[in-house]
């Protein structure tokens, strides 16, 4: 693990391999460890940087206002990297898109895996699925909250927990408990959002974009992938990855790695 000062905070990251740079941005229910199956294969051809976003994992959270997308640009500055490809999953994908809109000259390509998008509003179907699968949970009960989020996101609405590798569920639960503590701390800090948000600006993404989702994920995620592919001018929509939920890089690394190696410049 490395640490580096970025925009007044200390970000933790792993820096592996050499070649064209690729930055991996983790899901909001995870941290940089979710990329453990990607780093080795990608590092054979690329300089791979897996970072904990501010407040998550081993990165710090000073009380000063900040924006995640500016932190990623600041990380590139601190590492003396003019531009990089960004690979993001879920919340990390939303941050990647925001970086590409706020700092387009810094992003050579975007790979978005089960991505969120800033400004997107969840459908009534998604809200009803949450109520059916999880229900009300005390947000300060990290154990119960993580169990609910893993059931919703990692297992997905069309599968039972018994259908999913128990090691994946255990690892995702451990990461999510830590991420929930990070999100509680982040709620007390002024986190600036991209303005206007990305959901109405996808046509501004002028770099190559690869987008896919897990076939077992919440339907909203697949629809977002469709929307990005329809609106971003240089987007490629891969079919949803079979037998994969929200953390598809962990659950189905082989097809994800093959797609990334084929796409990344």
pLDDT tens-digit map of 216-264: 999 999 999 999 999 999 999 999 999 999 999 999 999 999 999 999 9
Identify the CATH number of the domain in which residue 11 sits.
3.40.50.1820
Q: Are 143 and 242 in contact (CB under 8 A)?
A: no
* Predicted pLDDT of residue 134: 72
Kindly state whether residues 12 and 73 are assigned to the same domain. yes
Model pLDDT, residue 113: 98
Same domain, residue pair 227 and 173: no
Question: CA 215 → CA 8, 25, 68, 135, 163, distances in Å?
Answer: 40, 21, 28, 23, 14
Q: Distance between CA atoms of 118 and 16, rounded to whole angstroms?
A: 29
Residues 199, 257: one domain?
Answer: yes
Cis bond before residue 68 (omega within 30° of 0): no
Residue-level pLDDT at 143: 86
DSSP 32-98: GGGGTTTHHHHHTTEEEEEEPPTTSTT----SS-B-HHHHHHHHHHHTT-S-EEEEEETHHHHHHHH
Sites in the chain below the pLDDT cut of 70: none
Rounded CA-CA distance 101/103 in Å is 6
Identify the domain boundary among 185, 202, 226. Answer: 185
pLDDT value at position 132? 79
pTM: 0.96
Residue of 97, 85, 51, 30 whose CA lies nearest to 247: 30
Domain-ending residue, one of 133, 162, 185: 185
Tell me, yes or no, whether 150 and 103 share the same domain: no
**132 and 255 housed in the same domain:** no
Tell me, what's the pLDDT at 220?
Answer: 96
The count of structural domains within the chain is 2
The domain of 175 spans 124-185
Residue 180 shares a structural domain with residue 209: no
Q: Are 87 and 58 in contact (CB under 8 A)?
A: no
Single residue among 136, 163, 185 that ends a domain in this structure: 185
**Token pair for 110:** 């975007």
130 with 252, same domain: the answer is no
**How high is the pLDDT of residue 97?**
98
> Which pLDDT score, from 0 to 100, does residue 141 have?
79
Nearest-angstrom CA–CA distance, 84 and 18: 13
CA–CA separation, 172 vs 31, rounded Å?
10
- 251, with CB counted inside 10 A (0-12, 13-18, 19+), is buried
Is the separation of the CB atoms in 152 and 2 below 8 Å?
Answer: no
* Residue 240: its H or E element: none
């Amino acid at each position: 693990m490395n640490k580096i000062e970025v925009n007044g905070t200390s970000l933790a990251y792993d820096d592996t391999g050499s070649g064209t740079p690729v930055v991996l941005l983790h899901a909001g229910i995870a941290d940089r460890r979710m990329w453990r199956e990607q780093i080795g294969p990608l590092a054979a051809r690329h300089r791979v940087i897996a970072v904990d976003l501010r407040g998550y994992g081993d990165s710090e959270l000073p009380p000063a206002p900040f924006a995640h997308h500016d932190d990623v640009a600041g990380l590139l500055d601190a590492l003396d990297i003019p531009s990089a490809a960004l690979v993001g999953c879920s919340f990390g994908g939303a941050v990647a898109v925001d970086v590409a809109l706020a700092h387009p000259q810094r992003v050579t390509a975007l790979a978005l895996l089960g991505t969120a998008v800033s400004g997107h509003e969840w459908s009534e179907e998604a809200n009803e699925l949450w109520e059916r699968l999880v229900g009300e949970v005390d947000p300060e009960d990290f154990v119960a909250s993580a169990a609910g989020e893993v059931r919703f996101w990692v297992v997905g609405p069309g599968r039972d927990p018994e259908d999913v590798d128990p090691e994946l569920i255990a690892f995702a639960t451990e990461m999510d408990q830590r991420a929930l503590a990070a999100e509680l701390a982040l709620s007390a800090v002024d986190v600036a959002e991209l303005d206007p948000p990305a959901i109405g600006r996808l046509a501004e993404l002028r770099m190559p974009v690869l987008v896919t989702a897990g076939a077992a994920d919440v339907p909203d995620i697949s629809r977002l992938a469709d929307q990005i592919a329809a609106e971003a001018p240089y987007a490629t929509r891969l079919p949803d990855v079979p037998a994969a939920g929200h953390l598809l890089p962990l659950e189905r690394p082989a097809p994800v790695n093959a797609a990334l190696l084929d796409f990344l410049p």
